[in-house]
Amino acid sequence: MNSSQATLTMALLFALRCLVPLALVLGIGYAMNWMVDMWEAEAEKEKAAIGVGVVKTAVPAAASPSCWSVIGCSEEERGNCPGFQQQPLPCWLARTRENGTLPEKCTTCPVYEGRPAVA
């Protein structure tokens, strides 16, 4: 092997050892950034479609009467109730997320009884 072949071999081995992995890392990084941009654009479209500030849940708010009208909560109780304050959410879900538990009168409410208690 002459010196020019040895130099060429060393250059190729250097490229194989250093430049190819660097190109792979840069290519994967570019692909990941492209995917993140695509996901963010989809999220923006979804936000625009459902409206800003609307919370999507696995348990949809029902078209049934509100729990505070069935139970007969006072205005003061309604003002302190997360279920009343966060009306897009089902009342029991908002209450459980806020306080961690439901009061006894909420668990006996007919609006709650037919639906799952998901938190």
CA distance 93 to 117: 7
Q: Which parts of the chain have pLDDT scores under 50?
A: 61-62, 119
CA distance 77 to 109: 15
Residue range(s) defining the domain that contains residue 25: 1-51
| Per-residue confidence (pLDDT) for residue 7, from 0 to 100 | 93
Question: One-letter amino acid identity for 43?
Answer: A
* Any domain includes 58: no
* Any domain includes 59: no
Inter-residue contact 67 to 110 (CB < 8 Å): no
Residues 34 and 72 placed together within one structural domain of the fold: no
Q: Which segments of the chain does DSSP mark as H helices, in order? A: 3-14, 20-50, 67-71, 75-80, 82-85, 91-99, 104-107, 110-113
| Per-residue confidence (pLDDT) for residue 119, from 0 to 100 | 46
| Per-residue confidence (pLDDT) for residue 48, from 0 to 100 | 77
Alpha carbon 35 to its chain centroid, in Å, reads: 17
| Per-residue confidence (pLDDT) for residue 9, from 0 to 100 | 93
| Per-residue confidence (pLDDT) for residue 53, from 0 to 100 | 52
When divided into structural domains, the chain yields a total of 2
| Per-residue confidence (pLDDT) for residue 56, from 0 to 100 | 54
Inter-residue contact 88 to 54 (CB < 8 Å): yes
* Any domain includes 16: yes
